């Protein structure tokens, strides 16, 4: 059951939307719990909010690439080990640089 590109993008957008709504719902639940005075001492309480976030990330990846996540995972695994290492390292470095740049801009704007 192969989706055409417009249908596939609609499905990916639906995943992103549901993931974001799930994140907002979890944030509301956690805010209500905090407002009620409960102080969580268990770090494993942060696992449930990660589930809708991961769903939104998968939808975002599918939306940007236009390919199903499983297909991308298979393509990644078909790379040689050194290729995955180099590309993975570059992705992590680029993400770190992006975080530093965005945080620097935000700090400069608000100070």
**What was the pLDDT predicted at 31?**
86
**What was the pLDDT predicted at 17?**
94
**Cβ neighbours for 65, distance < 8 A, ≥ 6 positions apart:** 72
- Pick from 99, 76, 70, 104: nearest CA to 88: 76
- Please state the rounded mean pLDDT for residues 90-105: 96
- What are the sequence ranges of the domains in the chain? 1-78, 79-111
Handedness of CA 77, 82, 84, 85 (dihedral sign): positive
- Pick from 47, 44, 62, 51: nearest CA to 21: 51
- Pick from 54, 62, 64: nearest CA to 22: 54
User: What percentage of the chain has pLDDT greater than the value 70?
Assistant: 95
**What was the pLDDT predicted at 108?**
93
The pTM of this model reads 0.71
Q: Give the pLDDT confidence of 26-63 residue by residue, as tens digits.
A: 989 888 888 888 877 777 877 888 899 999 999 999 98
């Amino acid at each position: 059951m192969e989706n055409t590109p417009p249908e596939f993008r609609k499905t990916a957008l639906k995943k992103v939307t549901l993931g974001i709504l799930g994140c907002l719902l979890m944030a509301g639940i956690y805010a209500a719990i905090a407002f009620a005075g409960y102080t969580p001492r268990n770090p494993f309480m942060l696992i449930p909010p990660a589930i809708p976030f991961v769903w939104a990330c998968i939808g975002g990846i599918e939306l940007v690439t236009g390919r199903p996540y499983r297909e991308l995972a298979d393509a990644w695994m078909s790379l040689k080990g050194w290729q995955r290492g180099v590309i993975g390292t570059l992705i992590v470095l680029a993400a770190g640089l992006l975080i530093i740049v965005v945080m620097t801009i935000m700090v400069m704007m608000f100070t």
